[in-house]
Every structure is written in C-alpha cells, then in structure tokens.
Amino acid sequence: MSDARRVLVAASFTITMIACMGTAVSACISQRERQAYEVYALRTEVLVGAQSCRMTDRFNIFATKFTRELTTEGRALRSHYLKTYGKGGDKALDDFVTRMANNSFVEGSGTGNLCATTTALFEDVMALPVGELAAYSHHHQLRGLPAMEVCGSPKVAVAKQP
C-alpha cells in the first residue's frame, strides 16, 4: 500500500471515529429526548404494575386513551437510540427497556404495596386530559429510570430524587 493511501485510510478512520464519538458516547440528552424517556418510563411503570397486579384491562384503556402521545414519544425515543447507536439502536433500546422494566418491578415490589400504588397511578393518569401525559411524567416520581443529564441544563437529571 502506498504512503499516500495509508495516510488517506488513517485520516478517514480518524474522521469516522471522531464523528461517531459524538453520537455513540453522548454525555447528555436533549430536552426533547428527556421528555421521551420520561413518558416511556411512566408507560413502563404502568405496564409493569398492570401485569403484576392483573390490571391489564386498565392498561389497555390507558394505552388507548394516550395512543397518540405514547406513539409520538416512543418514536422519539427510538430515533434517539438509532441516532446514538446506529444499526444497534433497536437492540440497545430493547436492552434499556428490559432493564427499566426490571428496575421498575424491583423498586415497586420492594415497597410491599405495588398494587395499591399502581391503582393510585391509574387513577391519577386516567384523570389527565389527553395531551398532558408528558407534563405528568415530568413531575411524577418515576421508577426504574436512571439519571441522565440534559444538555445545556445545569445538572438537571431525568430521575427524580425522593
């Protein structure tokens, strides 16, 4: 291989690595991505509680009422994972959702009143008007969602502290 070709290959590799670093190892998330994480965490908390407490009929009503919002936020979250992880985005998202559901179950069942908490959560959420799920998610004490810094915000994190 000629010296010029080696330099070109090395430069291309370096540029590619620098370009990928910005997306694959993002130190913070945007406010829009934060909202998607919060709504998806709420959805997961409701789903885990519904499945654990035999309230799937209530979850189905919730999912039907908030279909548009859940779909919009789900797409935003998937877009974030595809942007961040490329072709591995769907697998990374699946892994994240599994960890979040497991954490939500462990945290929720550790209190000893998962079903009572889930019932109260359903009552709160179902009283919301359509279009208010993101605002509720932002202020709700979310289980299973790790802390994430929002870009441009002074140390604001997704996870709420008790």
Q: In 25-147, which residue ranges form alpha helices assigned H by DSSP?
A: 31-52, 56-65, 67-85, 89-109, 114-126, 133-139
Q: What is the pLDDT of residue 13?
A: 36
Q: What is the pLDDT of residue 113?
A: 85
Q: What is the pLDDT of residue 101?
A: 86
Note the pTM of the prediction, 2 decimals.
Answer: 0.73
Q: What is the pLDDT of residue 9?
A: 40
Contact, 106 vs 99, CB < 8 A?
A: no
Which CB contacts under 8 angstroms, 24+ apart, belong to 25-31? 26/84, 27/149, 28/148, 28/149, 28/150, 28/151, 28/152, 29/80, 29/148, 29/149, 29/150, 29/151, 29/158, 30/150, 30/151, 31/150, 31/151, 31/152, 31/153
CA 39 to chain centre: 7
From the number of C-beta atoms within 10 Å of its C-beta (0-12, 13-18, 19+), residue 136 rates as middle
What one-character DSSP code corresponds to residue 143? S
Q: What is the pLDDT of residue 27?
A: 66
Q: What is the pLDDT of residue 22?
A: 36
User: Could you write out the DSSP letters of every residue in 16-27?
Assistant: HHHHHHHHHT-S
Q: How far apart are CA 103 and CA 95, in angstroms?
A: 12
The domain limits of the chain are 30-139
Q: What is the pLDDT of residue 16?
A: 35
Q: Which two tokens stand for residue 158?
A: 């997704």
One digit per residue, the tens of pLDDT, for the chain of length 162 reads 555 444 334 333 333 333 333 333 356 899 999 999 999 999 998 999 999 999 999 999 999 999 999 999 999 999 999 999 999 999 999 998 898 888 878 777 776 788 998 999 999 999 999 999 999 999 987 776 778 888 877 554 444 444
